[in-house]
Amino acid sequence: MASVTDAELKEMTQEERVKALGMTTEQLTGKSLYIEFDPDAEERFTYPWAPDVDFNKRTELDCDGLTTTEVNAKVRDLMNEGYGTVVLQNPRGMHSLGVGILNKLNLIIEGSTGYFAVGLIDGPNVRINGRVGWSCGENMMSGTVMIEKNAGSTFGAAMRGGDLVCRGSVGSRTGIDQKGGTIIVGGDTGALSGFMMQRGRMVVCGNAGKNLGDSMYDGTIYVGGEIKSLGVDAVTAELTDLDKAWLTRKLKQYGMMPDKGVDHFTKVVAGKMLWNYDNLEPNEKKLIL
Amino acid sequence: MADGDMPKKPALARDVNRIGDSFIFPPRVMDDIHIKSELGRYRMRGFSLFKKIPHWDDLTFMPGTLTRFVIEGYREKCDTDVKIGPRAKRPLELDIPIYITGMSFGALSYEAKTALARGATMAGTATCSGEGGMIPDERRYSSKWFYQCIQSRYGFNPNHLVLADGCEFFIGQGCKVGLGGHLMGQKVTDQVAEMRSLPAGIDQRSPARHPDWLGPDDLALKIQEIREATDWQIPIQLKLGAARVYDDVRMAVKCDPDSIYIDGMEGGTGAGPHLATEDTGVPGIAAIRQARKAIDDLGKRGEITLIYAGGIRNGADVAKAIALGADAIAIGHSAMMALNCNKDIPEANYPEEIGAEPGYCYHCHTGRCPVGVATQDPVLRSRLDPDEAAERVYNFLHTLTIEAQLFARACGKTNLHSLEPEDLAALTMEASAMAGVPLAGTNHTVGIEDYHHL
Ligand SMILES: Cc1cc2nc3c(=O)[nH]c(=O)nc-3n(C[C@H](O)[C@H](O)[C@H](O)COP(=O)(O)O)c2cc1C
Ligand code: SF4
């Protein structure tokens, strides 16, 4: 920032810093206040409902004959009734199953789902005893999702938090635009995995396809098997003891620890060459061709 | 005097023997080459295209005289309200058919975003988050608010999605069709970086493709996902940059959104490659007609709303766009001008701060906006008083509406949306061909044999 230097920011109190960076809540004055802002009017910024559920209260729901919308609405009703564990039977490969759950919940899906399974969630623990289509766990904020079989492409696209685990193999573009959280793949992953990754961690126990970590801004990818090729601006880095400890803990947590341990994992991080293009030397600019 | 001889006196500017006045390489083109050979990359800039294209000025209204009956200027009603996404459980109802387009927090300052929100709320219309996530105060101050689902998904949060009155999928923008967003390092402050989960200070070039769907078939499913997450309450809008408009809109309609937003090549940007702004997309007057036809051909008129944005400056532009087939209009740069963009305010010193006189600034991408609109710098931002700015935004939106009404009434309409292509004539052959309206003073519509017996 041009006018406030880092040194100046350090000198300031928290309150001054917040003000200088513009993070304050504005005090309304002026005409728009008395024309439009009625203090009794409904607040337009209230977080959505979050029913209190009991994990020990369990129920099953047979999806046979129901539409996705009916199933999702039913799950919401069950949460309102306090059910904390819901088992969905016969999911029949439905798309958008369990999306947008912003609450704690144990959700068990007995079968396979279509695209966008449990996308846009914040909080639930999900187990899918089957396969999932594209974009499972898309944009998830927190919680854990565990898939017992294989998953389609763009697994965990733009995900921001939580743990997204697939015991089998996944398609291409896994963790594209990943912004946080952890993706764990027991098998292989396809091409362009970790494309434009921003933050978070991705663990692939098997092999990775072409252009791994292409254009990644930041974040870390660990691969247990072979990497077909690295993408633009992705580089390997040394696997530190801290990495090993973290990998061991995470993989044990999900019972996915390889027999030979974690020492053989390759760590891939951003080369950070593309962070500021203008700082590149003339011949380095060929990187993006 | 032969070429190459030393002149006896200094050459006059108009001495054609001395002046190389190339049409292909005029001085600005040479400058451009000089700059790029220093930079080693394309030039970035804000604003919209600079070159002349067929646009609103090339159309004129044909108001009522004796063949038509006019509506009284101030006394008789001329309705302006519009419903975006009438099929949704909770359609967006706007009092005026003009709203503030999505401009990201990051490109614009906090003060600018909240002032736009407050001005729009006063006018009874909507705003849009733009890229980079929600700032809570913008949501607070907007009575109607679109949340943008953009390729990068920066700051996209399902907890914010459920607060929205509409969800807009960014698929492209007219200014740089086929490209993702840009935010240069100077504007990626700690706060902006945190909202976008990025390292601060880096050049941020957003992806141009969505991460979780690739083509229209997947998009249809993605739309369904967002509907499920929002309980089918709010309208879903697709924002497309104008290119192969007829085919694109047909495909968009097949994905079954509630509304389609077409951004003409006149559209603005906070930062984009100079060449992309000049050389991508098609003009609004062509795009609206084709989009309208695509929606109508598939029988979705009245079900899927058509929004247009790009180069809208005044009420005549609004009225012309509505006459050509748009249901509502979104404005970007002109709303920024209501905030003070390019205005000579006492605090600003344009030549020193930006190197251009007021009226010629296009430097939004640098983050050094002299009027505190397109910047994150606290000192520059303090030049924008959000209270006064909100009122100016309201005044401008209101003026656009009464200006548009003026044309509707003169054309004999008691509803702004009753304006139709029949009310327009073209002043140039190009405009006639693109907008599909007859050349003024003739019965001839370029490219159409017999327009009146289609
Ligand atoms: C400063 C600025 C920032 C913008 N940011 C976004 C954005 O974040 N997302 C988006 O879809 N469009 C963005 N746009 C494009 C506008 O939404 C819109 O397409 C365009 O400005 C309309 O043209 P007009 O400015 O001529 O009215 C931005 C435009 C400007 C001027
Ligand atoms: S005055 Fe500010 S908003 Fe306007 S063009 Fe210049 S930098 Fe952009």
Task: Read off the pLDDT of residues B375-405 as tens digits, 9 standing for 90 and up.
Answer: 999 999 999 999 999 999 999 999 999 999 9
Share of chain B above pLDDT 70, in %: 95
Q: Is residue B338 in contact with ligand 2, taking CB distance under 6 Å?
A: no
The CA A36 to ligand 2 mean position distance, Å, reads 28
Least confident interval from A11-20, B34-43, B296-305: A11-20
For residue B347, pLDDT beyond 70: yes
- CATH 3.20.20.70 in chain B: give the residue spans: 47-419
Q: Find, in chain A, the residue whose alpha carbon is nearest to that of B43.
A: A278
Mean pLDDT of B166-193: 88
pLDDT band at A8 (very low <50, low <70, confident <90, very high): confident
SS (H, E, C) chain A: CCCCCHHHHHHCCHHHHHHHCCCCCCCCCCHHHHHHCCCCCCCCCCCCCCCCCEEEEEEEEECCCCCHHHHHHHHHHHHHCCEEEEEEECCCCCCCCCCCCCCCCEEEEECCCCCCCCCCCEEEEEEECCCECCCCCCCCCEEEEEECCCECCCCCCCCCCCEEEECCCCCCCCCCCCEEEEEEECCCECCCCCCCCCEEEEEECCCECCCECCCCCCCEEEECCCECCECCCEEEECCCHHHHHHHHHHHHHCCCCCCCCCCCCEEEEECCCCCCHHHCCHHHHHHHC
For residue A5, pLDDT beyond 70: yes
Mean pLDDT of chain B: 92
Mean pLDDT of B166-195: 88
Nearest to B229 among A29, A99, A173 (CB): A99
* Maximal CA-CA distance, chain B: 83
Q: Which atom of ligand 2 is nearest to the CA of B336?
A: 3
Place domain A59-288 in its CATH homologous superfamily. Answer: Glutamate synthase, alpha subunit, C-terminal domain (2.160.20.60)
Give pLDDT, residue A1. Answer: 40
Domain ranges of chain A: 6-36, 59-288
Give pLDDT, residue B2. Answer: 46
pLDDT band at A3 (very low <50, low <70, confident <90, very high): low
Mean pLDDT of A209-229: 96
Give pLDDT, residue A21. Answer: 65
pLDDT band at A133 (very low <50, low <70, confident <90, very high): very high
For residue B445, pLDDT beyond 80: yes
Mean pLDDT of B194-198: 86
Mean pLDDT of B50-55: 94
Interface check for A22 against chain B (CB to CB < 8 A): the answer is yes
How many angstroms separate the CA atoms of B19 and B12, rounded?
A: 9
More confident residue, A35 or B406: B406
Give pLDDT, residue B202. Answer: 84
Nearest to B397 by CA among B125, B103, B82: B125
The stretches of B367-428 forming alpha helices (DSSP H) are 378-381, 386-410
Give the domain B47-419 fold. TIM Barrel (3.20.20)
Mean pLDDT of B193-222: 89
**pTM score of the predicted model:** 0.91
Angstroms from A69 CA to nearest CA on chain B: 6
Contact list, B231 vs chain A (CB under 8 Å): 73
The three-point CA angle A23-A29-A32 to 5° equals 105
Q: Is residue B251 in contact with ligand 1, taking CB distance under 6 Å?
A: no
Q: What is the pLDDT of residues A178-218, one digit of tens each?
A: 999 999 999 999 999 999 999 999 999 999 999 999 999 99
A residues 97-156 lying closer than 8 A (beta carbon) to B? 99-100, 102, 114-116, 119-122, 134-135, 138-139, 141, 154
Q: What is the pLDDT of residues B111-145, one digit of tens each?
A: 999 999 999 999 999 999 999 899 888 998 999 99
The count of other CB atoms within 10 Å of the CB of residue A94 is 24
Give pLDDT, residue B1. Answer: 40
Mean pLDDT of B82-108: 96
Nearest to B287 by CA among B179, B172, B402: B172
Nearest to B140 among A3, A45, A282 (CB): A45
Q: Do A135 and B213 touch (CB under 8 A)?
A: yes
Give pLDDT, residue B192. Answer: 84
Contact list, B189 vs chain A (CB under 8 Å): 1, 21
Mean pLDDT of B407-422: 95
